[in-house]
Chains A and B, each alone.
Chain A
Amino acid sequence: GDSVTQKQGQVTLSEDDFLFINCTYSTTTYPTLFWYVQYPGQGPQLLLKVTTANNKGISRGFEATYDKGTTSFHLQKASVQESDSAVYFCALVLSSGSWQLIFGSGTQLTVMP
């Protein structure tokens, strides 16, 4: 069945470090892919979205590229700040009608000052 895999449960960086969070997916179609961010005490919120049409999403300094060949959708940021500390979820949508999202297990990012 369809699935999303995030193998990094926790990532700890220092300010200005480069961020890379791995996400791979498995599906029989070419899905729309998302990164959601969850700050402490809040619900997840959309960070960026990528479709088969545009292949790359950029938002708030974060970037993710849709690679159909490797079925990957890694999240990157050139220089993280302490305020980026949060949980990051990769997700794919099964169908545009019902917007059922399948989420990865999440990556807790901690950025040390």
Chain B
Amino acid sequence: EAAVTQSPRNKVTVTGGNVTLSCRQTNSHNYMYWYRQDTGHGLRLIHYSYGAGNLQIGDVPDGYKATRTTQEDFFLLLELASPSQTSLYFCASSGNTLYFGAGTRLSVL
């Protein structure tokens, strides 16, 4: 069974704060993704990667950085968090389909 684990599950920060969301997959997949989910917008791709050290820009990358340190680990960084980044964030990896983690709910006050 494909496994994608995200941490933390919930995070609250203040405007201007520094946040790192973590994702680990044990599927040996090359591709990993970060999405955000907002009501009325569905899931929108922030960044993705096809291997350690690689980073590709998605559809809504502004205000986000990401880093893929290993095959298993993909991090999303918000260096100056803003209230518009309050959202539900999902990490995923892909084999013949996308496998999603359980999500991280981020609130920026």
Contacts and interface: CB of A to CB of B under 8 A. Distances in A.
Interface of A: 4, 6, 9, 34, 36, 41-46, 49, 89, 98-101, 103-106
Contacts of B100: 43-45
Q: Which of A34, A99, A100, A103 has the most CB of B within 10 A?
A: A99
Contact of B102 (A6, A42, A98): A42
B78 interface: no
Given A34-B97, A43-B90, A46-B98, A98 B42 contact: no
5 contacts: A44-B43, A44-B100, A49-B97, A100-B45, A104-B42
**Dominant secondary structure of chain B at its interface with chain A:** strand
Given A43-B90, A43-B92, A44-B90, A101 B98 contact: yes
**Dominant secondary structure of chain A at its interface with chain B:** loop
A88 to B, nearest CB: 11
A43 B91 CA distance: 9
